[in-house]
Chain A
Amino acid sequence: MFPKGTKRKFLDSAEEAATASGPGERGPASARTPSPSYSLQRQSLLDMSLIKLQLCHMLVEPNLCRSVLIANTVRQIQEEMTQDGTWQLMTQALAAAQCPADRLVATEVLCRQSDPAAAVAAGQSPKPYPLAGGLDEGYHSEEVVMEAGDAPKEVVSTQSYMAGPFGMGPCWEEREEDGEEEEEEEDGEESEGEDADERPEADSGPGEQVFGTFEIKQPPPPPPPDPALEELFSDVDPSYYELDTVLTGMQSAPKMGPYDLLESLSSHGPPPLSPGASCRSDLNELDHIMEIIVGS
């Protein structure tokens, strides 16, 4: 049953907007379910954006500004789809298709979250989808250590995936939708930490475990970085490994390669992200080599 009046109004404006100017414009965000044409256009925009991200990864050297803008658009769409409840359907469809695996634990707590527990829950995100290419500079050695300790897990939930090619939406704005909370409760474990604006409730058992693990593994806050060393390491761009992973097919997620992604796009099922565990060990080796070089 649609709430009286509201739904109709939104449909009208949404349809108007949809017919007038494509998925670019939208009506008031108060309604829960968008019009079918609007949904379709939004979905096609999402697909287009994902393909763009993938393609830009294949280029000579990806234009970071463009990648960031596309990724933000993707995030925005996902946010809206989550609000509308459309995201829920996609997630469930994908969950049914794939065996749930353990959550990948993200490394970074320094998101814009005041509550560290919430931040950690937020941090339960998949590793950035390799589409992002050169954005994955963040794979510093300390992060690698943490990852290894936490047994990199494959992310199944597309919600987490859609958090963005860079990874999760800890940087998302707060969402006040009540319905969203209900959805999260419904999802239970799977939805844990899926959303950006995690609240402390999301930090149940696994979350605390994660937090605990995190505390153990996290390296001490780095001292003011030695500029020379930093410059040295900043040149170590793990995107190289991501590119490799994408091109050769992701090792930790044998089911999904870049071409599989495109296929799944047509069925509206974005694949889970792959952390590429082997990448981590390679990175460790690389850092080790760099240390030797620097040391000599």
Chain B
Amino acid sequence: MGEDAESPKINHTFLRDYVTEADVISTVEFNQTGDLLATGDKGGRVVIFQRETESKGESEEVLETGDCGEYNVYSTFQSHEPDFDYLKSLEIEEKINKIKWLAQQNAAHFLLSTNDKTVKLWKVSERDKRPAGYNLKDEEGRLKDISTITSLQVPVLKPADLMVEVRPRRVFSNGHTYHVNSISVNSDGETYLSADDLRINMWHLGITDRSFNIVDIKPANMEDLTEVITAAEFHPQHCHLFVYSSSKGTLRLCDMRSSALCDKHTKLFEEPEDPGSRSFFSEIISSVSDVKFSHSGRYLLTRDYLTAKVWDLNMDKGPVETYQVHEYLRSKLCSLYENDCIFDKFECVWNSSDSVIMTGAYNSFFQMFDRETGRGVTLEAWRESSKPRAVLRTRRVYTGGKRRRGDVGVDSLDFSKKILHMAWHPSENIIAIAATNNLYIFQDRVNPEAQ
């Protein structure tokens, strides 16, 4: 662990605090191997990071035991531009809501990125060779004077500086009237779903001019609207199953084999309401902000405002595990409603072996819960408190009892620093945390491989 020199006395605080709105990261996603990490931001840009491998690096650094390659910027491109809906006289934000990688089939990588309305398929390919040794052209491409040519050579491909090309391959537009909140690639590798507030469409990756509507919860009369779709995902193994969550805290598992339009769920997962703790905010805090299948496909992980819950697909009566993420906020719900924080949508993720779950909170805190022991740990993603290669120390929110040094009081929490988006490496203990416009990548040195 390197000792970092203290930064000079120049006060950079004002630089640190200034955040360009467009740079705020809005989604983070690892690809299937974990070698690539994509982030999308509010300005419609996508930045792809690639993990260094020993063979790629020029300098032969001796990597410490347990040390993993670092992630460096691989490519940056503008995925979506701001748009305007002339019929409604409303702007369409270019903010990237979700990115999903396709499974790699050849040398190129493909990813889907979406804003509120349009999904795009991007092809990311490398070019690291260039032809050289033409007979008629010189190195710069100018025609040679024929009289100077005395011998013939065979052009060869020579290694050149790596160039990453990103090209849009498909644009799936006009599929959604409402804001797209989720996309999910099917295990069949051919289709994907996109979900907005009221409808879920299934697309074929090769067909852009039409999609198949599989869920429609729009009431005939919009006045009757009381529930919206908040997230949706395909089952990781079964290509006919998908789940979607709602603002009322319910999960619906749908089987596409049963009917073309899956308005009728196959299974409804709902936790019965506790009448003792009912309040005006009960419904709002029960709204599910994210739903994720476990890698095994057996469990579902959901996040509502105060808790993270694990559900067993075989049991729809209620969650099998409930984790309190920030129960200390329950008494503050009124203020959080006032400043709109109660509507924040936190994501949640599984680790590769489905033994640990992770989700974000406020004050740059994020929580990890070990499913076996039920214990949770609070960590912080904040530059001041974590230098590169330093060990993250656990944090605590003071809620009563003995106050320890370093505890943060509930009233001192910074609600503008929210950890909404995160990702966990598919096979190793590497996590990517988005904190406003910063991306933190943490690696577990002690147990780099998942247990």
A167 partner residues in chain B, CB cutoff 8 A: 221-224
| Closest chain B CB from A242 CB (angstroms) | 11
A25 CB contacts on chain B under 8 angstroms? 277, 279
How many angstroms from the CA of A52 to the CA of B342 in the assembled complex?
A: 13
Stretch from B82-90, B158-166, B236-244, B422-430 that touches the partner: B82-90
Instruction: State which of A41, A60, A235 has its C-beta within 8 Å of the C-beta of B93.
Output: A60
Q: Kindly supply a per-residue 1/0 record for chain A positions 201-228, scoring 1 wherever the CB is within 8 Å of any chain B CB and 0 otherwise.
A: 0000000000000000000000000010
Majority SS at the chain A contact face:
helix
Tell whether A93 is near chain B: CB-to-CB under 8 Å.
no
Expressed in whole angstroms, the Cα–Cα distance for A211 and B403 within the complex equals 66
Partner of B218, one of A22, A24, A137: A137
Q: In B335-351, which residues have CB < 8 Å from any A CB?
A: 337-338, 340, 343
B92 at interface (Cβ–Cβ under 8 A)? yes
A194 to B226, CA, bound (A): 18
B247 touches A65 (CB 8 A): yes
A72 touches B224 (CB 8 A): no
B221 and A110 contact, CB distance less than 8 A? yes
Closest Cβ of chain A to B70, distance in Å, is 37
Tell me the nearest residue of chain B to A125, going by C-beta. Answer: B223
How many Å from the CB of B21 to the closest CB on chain A? 13
Q: Which of B51-59, B264-272, B281-289, B383-391 sits within the interface?
A: B281-289
B131 on interface, CB distance cutoff 8 Å: no
Which B residues lie within 8 Å of A24 (CB)? 279-281, 331, 333-334
In the complex the two chains form, is A240's CB within 8 Å of B88's CB?
Answer: yes
Residue B3 CB within 8 A of the other chain? no
Minimum CB distance partner of B335 in chain A: A22
Partner of A60, one of B91, B197, B221, B287: B91
A66 vs B177: C-alpha distance in the bound complex, in angstroms? Answer: 17
- A7 contacts B by Cβ under 8 Å: no
Q: Are B227 and A45 in contact (CB under 8 A)?
A: no
A61-B179, A170-B224, A235-B177 as given contacts; A243 in contact with B280, CB under 8 Å: no
With A64-B197, A240-B87 as contacts: A135 and B220 at CB distance below 8 Å = no
B189 proximal to A (CB < 8 A): no
Whether A61 contacts B91 by the Cβ 8 Å rule is yes
Q: Look across to chain A and name the residue whose beta carbon is closest to the beta carbon of B343.
A: A66
Report if A61-B116 is in contact (Cβ < 8 Å); known contacts: A66-B343, A68-B247.
yes
A165 and chain B: residue at smallest CB distance: B223
Shortest distance between the CB of A194 and any CB in chain B (Å): 15
Q: Collect the chain A residues with CB atoms within 8 Å of residue B213's CB.
A: 227
Contact of A108 among B88, B92, B221, B247 (CB under 8 A): B221
Q: Is residue B178 contacting chain A, with contact meaning CB distance below 8 A?
A: yes
| Cβ–Cβ contact B338 & A48, under 8 A | yes
Q: Is the CB of A166 within 8 A of B224?
A: yes
Q: Which residue of A lies closest to B230 (CB)?
A: A65
- For the complex formed, measure the closest distance between the CB of B19 and the CB atoms of chain A, giving whole angstroms: 19
Q: How far is the CA of A227 from the CA of B216 in the complex (A)?
A: 13
How distant is the Cα of A229 from the Cα of B330 in the complex, in angstroms? 47
B9 at the interface (CB under 8 A from A): no
| Bitwise interface map of A from 33 to 53 toward B, beta carbon under 8 Å scored 1, else 0 | 000000001100100100010
Residue of A nearest to B338 (CB): A48
Q: Are B280 and A76 in contact (CB under 8 A)?
A: yes
Q: Which residues of A contact B277 (CB under 8 A)?
A: 25
Known: A45-B337, A235-B87. 15 other contacts (CB 8 A): A21-B330, A21-B331, A22-B333, A24-B331, A45-B280, A61-B85, A65-B197, A65-B343, A69-B247, A73-B283, A138-B223, A166-B223, A167-B222, A170-B223, A171-B226
30 contacts between A and B (CB under 8 A): A21-B330, A21-B331, A21-B333, A21-B334, A22-B331, A24-B279, A26-B279, A42-B280, A45-B334, A45-B337, A64-B178, A64-B197, A65-B197, A65-B228, A65-B230, A68-B227, A69-B343, A72-B283, A72-B284, A73-B281, A110-B221, A111-B221, A127-B223, A136-B222, A137-B222, A138-B219, A138-B220, A138-B221, A166-B224, A235-B177
8 closest A-B pairs by CB:
A167-B223, A138-B222, A108-B221, A22-B334, A166-B223, A24-B279, A64-B197, A61-B90
